Amino acid sequence: MDNLFSAIPSSLPDELFQDILNTDAVRVERIVSRGHVTPEGDWYDQDESEWVMVMKGRATLMFEEGRREVYMEAGDHLNIPAHQRHRVSWTDPDQDTIWLAVFYSGN
Amino acid sequence: MDNLFSAIPSSLPDELFQDILNTDAVRVERIVSRGHVTPEGDWYDQDESEWVMVMKGRATLMFEEGRREVYMEAGDHLNIPAHQRHRVSWTDPDQDTIWLAVFYSGN
């Protein structure tokens, strides 16, 4: 058994992406951000849909359509259909933000 | 956007099972326990595999094989392959235990 809040490197020059579960049907990923954001002008445009929750910390997602921003704290979750372009526009620089993401095919 | 820790009924005569996401590929479920356990002698024997994490609270899972017990707290997660018989043998009666479960086909 593992713990989602454990084994976080003290140094985190880049965002940390780690598969927790990887099967034909679904992929569960832990992401750790420490002030990291998606590079300006870049958008995630994913073939898979993603259900994502903030487990700890604070972050803002931006969606390309309407440049809509969504502020997220622990427990907040939303579903991002495949090819809905989005970016991480802010994460708290003063603490770790831990995300749980579930990637799957279809919408 | 919803929050996994919100909208928990004050009265909880039975465990609460709620779909958060339900697609052909995956089902994400929130479960809230308040001292509830699987009835003595009953086992979950599921056609789908289940990745499960305790989000809040404390619980013990028991697996039929070897009667192995696993104590879980916030952030602890494990994967239960399809048809691995198991039951919830204890949840903290003094607080809510909130689970996140991801059900998927295959192992």
The interface predicted TM-score (ipTM) is: 0.94
Q: Which of residues 56-85 of A touch B (CB under 8 A)?
A: 70, 72-79
Angle at B79 between CA B73 and CA B83, to 5 degrees: 125
Q: What is the mean pLDDT of chain B?
A: 96
Q: What is the mean pLDDT of chain A?
A: 96
For chain B, count helices (H), then strands (E).
Answer: 0, 9
Two structure tokens written together for B85: 């018989």
- Would the CB atoms of B77 and A20 count as touching at under 8 Å? yes
Band of residue B46 on the pLDDT scale cut at 50, 70, 90: very high
Q: Which residue, B80, B76, B77, is CA-closest to B107?
A: B80
| Domains identified in chain B, total number | 1
Q: Which of residues 5-44 of B touch A (CB under 8 A)?
A: 5-6, 20-21, 23-26, 28
- Would the CB atoms of A78 and B2 count as touching at under 8 Å? yes
Band of residue B107 on the pLDDT scale cut at 50, 70, 90: confident
Does some domain include residue A26? yes
Any CB–CB contact under 8 A between B102 and chain A? yes
Does some domain include residue A4? no
Two structure tokens written together for B8: 């928990």
Band of residue A91 on the pLDDT scale cut at 50, 70, 90: very high
CA distance A48 to chain B (A): 11
Report yes or no: B57 and B27 within 8 Å, Cβ to Cβ. no
Residue B98 belongs to domain with CATH number = 2.60.120.10
Q: Which residue, B4, B13, B27, is CA-closest to A72?
A: B4
Chain A nearest-CA residue for B103: A26
What is the C-alpha separation between A18 and A47, in angstroms, rounded? 19
Does some domain include residue A47? yes
Q: What local confidence, expressed as pLDDT, does residue A107 receive?
A: 73
Nearest to A77 among B4, B49, B74 (CB): B4
Range of the domain at A52: 16-104
Give the tens place of pLDDT for each residue, B53-73. Answer: 999 999 999 999 999 999 999
Does some domain include residue B6? no
- Would the CB atoms of A51 and B24 count as touching at under 8 Å? no
Nearest to A21 among B72, B74, B79 (CB): B79
Chain A nearest-CA residue for B24: A106
pLDDT exceeding 90 applies to what percent of chain A?
94
- Would the CB atoms of A70 and B1 count as touching at under 8 Å? yes
Does some domain include residue A40? yes
Question: Does pTM surpass 0.90?
Answer: yes
Does some domain include residue A92? yes
CB atoms within 10 A of CB A49: 21
Does some domain include residue B3? no
Does some domain include residue B54? yes
Residues of B in contact with A72 (CB under 8 A): 1
Give the tens place of pLDDT for each residue, A47-76. Answer: 999 999 999 999 999 999 999 999 999 999
CB atoms within 10 A of CB B4: 24
Residues of B in contact with A69 (CB under 8 A): none
